A and B are shown apart, each in its own frame.
Chain A
C-alpha cells in the first residue's frame, strides 16, 4: 500500500517581509508518511517547519517539488488534510459542539449524522458537559482538545499538527500528550506533528524527522520502537528506547545549533 503523504524534492523560497530579499526556507525535502503512522518533525526555530506545514495544509503555494496526499497532488487547502494550529484557532463565536461539527457542516453533512459524530468526538476528547460553552469559557487545554476534535471530526486523511501544545502550561501539556496517544490509538489516524520540543517529538512519534537550520533540510530520521499502548510519562522516563531516541534527537538538533553558532 502506498504511503498516505508523499513529499518529493520540495524546496521553497519566499521574499522577506521587510527587506524583500529572497529567503531559502526549505531545501529538497523528501519524506513519506505511512497509513496510521505518527511522525514528528523537530528542528530549531526558523528551520522551515511551519513553512512545510503551511505547504502541506495548502495555505502556501509551492513551485518546486511535489506533495501528494492519498495519491492526489495538493492544490490549496482541503478537508483531506486537517490542521491543528498552535494558537486557539477554534472560532470564538461558535459553541464547542458547533466548532467540532464545523468541518462536517462545511461538507454539507446532514444534521442528524453530524450530531452523532460530534457527540462521538466530544466523548473521545473528554469534553462532555461543555458542548454549549463558548471558547472563552474554556481553559487552554480544553480549547486545544476542542481543536483536535474539530480536526478529527472532519475525518481527514492526515492530521497535521503545528506545535499544538506550545501555548499550554507544562502540566496540561503532559496530559494532552498522553491523550493524543490514546486518541491516535482509537482513531488510527495518520499524524504529522510539528514541534520544537525534543521530549515531545520522541514521546509521541513512531518516527521523528530532524530538520536543519535554514535552509531547512531533512538531516536524519530517528525510529522510536515503542508500542503506542506503552507510552505514558510514568514509564517513559525509565524506558531505555525512549532515552536513547531522545538523546539522539537532542544531539542532532544541538549539533546543528552549535555548529551554526560556532
Chain B
C-alpha cells in the first residue's frame, strides 16, 4: 500500500517499534501517577514529594555542587573496584578453566564463597577497617570477584571439544591451543562475566556507601532518610537507576553483544 512509503508513516512506525518510545510513555504515566498520589496524600514532603519538588532539589544540589561530587565519588569507587576485580577475577577464572588440578582444588571453595553474600560479611569488614573507603572497596571486590571467576571458568570449559581437536590435528602445541581456541572461545563468557560482575559491583558500591560510606549516592539516600529529606532520597534513587541504565545499555551491553556476535559460533 502506498501510504506505507510516507515519511510520516515511517516515523510513526519508529515511535511504535522503538523500545525508547515505550520507555517514554511509561515514564510519563509514572510521573502522572506519582504527581497525583503526591498531591492527594497528607504530608507529601515527608512521604512522597512531587516530581517537581524532586527536580527543584536536584537543581539546588547541582548548584551547590553536592550532587556532582557524590556522583563522582560513587563512580570512582565503582571504576576502581571493577578494575581491581576484573584484573584479579579474569586471570583466576582462566587459570581454573585451563588446569584441571587447580580447578578441582579451588572450585568447591569458589562455590562456598559465592554462597556467602558480600553484604553478609560487611559487618566483619567494618570491624576490621571501620567506616572507610577501604571497607567499601573490599566489599565491591569481594562481590564482583566470585561471579566473574565462575563465569570465566565455565566459559573456558564450554568451548566445544571439536575445536580443540581440530586445531590439535593441525599440529598446534598446548600453548597454541590456549591462545587460538580457548581464549577466543571463552571471550563471550569473559565479557558476560564482566558485565555481571560490574552489575554486582554497582549494587555493592551503593550498599557499601549506605553502611560505611561518608559520601557518594548510597550515602546521599541514607542520610536523606535520616535527615527527613525525602526529596534527597528519591533524587538519589533516580540517579542510581538512571546511571545504571545508561552504563548498562550504552556501554556494557553493546560491548557484550559485539563480542557475542563476533564470536557467534561459540555461543550455543
A-side interface residues toward B, CB under 8 Å? 19-22
Closest CB pairs A-B (n = 7): A20-B4, A21-B1, A22-B1, A21-B4, A19-B4, A20-B1, A20-B13
Give A19 to B10 CA distance when docked, in angstroms. Answer: 10
> Which B159-174 residues have a C-beta within 8 angstroms of A?
none
CA distance A38 to B13 in the complex (A): 46
Which residue of A is nearest B3, CB measured? A20
Would you give the shortest CB distance from A242 to chain B, in whole angstroms? 45
Q: Which residues of B contact A22 (CB under 8 A)?
A: 1
Instruction: Give B4's nearest chain A residue, CB to CB.
Output: A20
Decide if the interface of chain B is mainly helix, strand, loop or mixed. helix
Q: Mark B10-22, 1 if CB is under 8 A from A, else 0.
A: 0001000000000
Query: Chain A's interface: helix, strand, loop or mixed, by majority?
Result: loop
Could you tell me which residues of chain B, from 73 to 120, have a CB within 8 Å of some CB in chain A?
Answer: none
When chains A and B are docked, how far (Å) is the Cα of A163 from the Cα of B13?
Answer: 35
List chain A residues, Cβ under 8 A from B13: 20
Q: Which residues of B contact A21 (CB under 8 A)?
A: 1, 4
Q: Which residue of B lies closest to A20 (CB)?
A: B4
Bits for B139-183, please: 1 = Cβ < 8 Å to A, else 0.
000000000000000000000000000000000000000000000
User: Could you tell me the distance in whole angstroms from the C-beta of B17 to the nearest C-beta in chain A?
Assistant: 11
Query: Least Cβ distance of B114 to chain A in Å?
Result: 31
A-B contact pairs, 7 of them (CB 8 A): A19-B4, A20-B1, A20-B4, A20-B13, A21-B1, A21-B4, A22-B1
Specify which chain A residues have a CB less than 8 angstroms from the CB of B1 in the assembled complex. 20-22
Smallest CB separation, B156 vs chain A (Å): 30
CA distance A12 to B1 in the complex (A): 16
Contacts of A20 in B (CB 8 A): 1, 4, 13
Closest B residue to A15 using CB positions = B1
Min CB gap A34→B, angstroms = 40
Q: How far is the CB of A21 from chain B (nearest CB, A)?
A: 6
Q: Cβ of B4: which chain A residues have Cβ within 8 Å of it?
A: 19-21
The answer for the CA separation of A20 and B4 in the assembled complex, in Å, is 7
CA distance A22 to B1 in the complex (A): 7
Q: Nearest A residue to B10 by beta-carbon distance?
A: A20
The distance in angstroms between the C-alpha atoms of A19 and B4, with both chains bound, is 8
Interface residue ranges of B7-47 to A (CB < 8 Å) = 13
A19 to B1, CA, bound (A): 9
Distance A22 CA – B2 CA, assembled complex (angstroms): 10
B32 to nearest A CB, angstroms?
A: 31
**CB-nearest residue of chain B to A16:** B4
CB B120 to nearest CB in A, in angstroms, measures 37
Distance (whole angstroms) from the CB of A3 to the closest CB of chain B: 37
Q: How far is the CA of A20 from the CA of B14 in the complex (A)?
A: 13
Residue with the highest number of chain B CB atoms closer than 10 Å, among A19, A20, A22: A20
Q: What B residues does A19 contact at CB under 8 A? A: 4
Q: How far is the CA of A172 from the CA of B2 in the complex (A)?
A: 48
B91 to chain A, nearest CB (A): 40
CB A82 to nearest CB in B, in angstroms, measures 37
Q: Could you tell me the distance between the alpha carbons of A21 and B13 in the complex, rounded to whole angstroms? A: 13
How distant is the Cα of A20 from the Cα of B13 in the complex, in angstroms?
10
A19 vs B13: C-alpha distance in the bound complex, in angstroms?
A: 11
Closest approach, in angstroms, between the C-beta of A167 and any C-beta of chain B?
22
A24 → chain B closest CB, angstroms:
12
B100 to chain A, nearest CB (A): 32
Closest to A19 in B: B4
Give complex CA distance A21, B1 in Å. Answer: 5
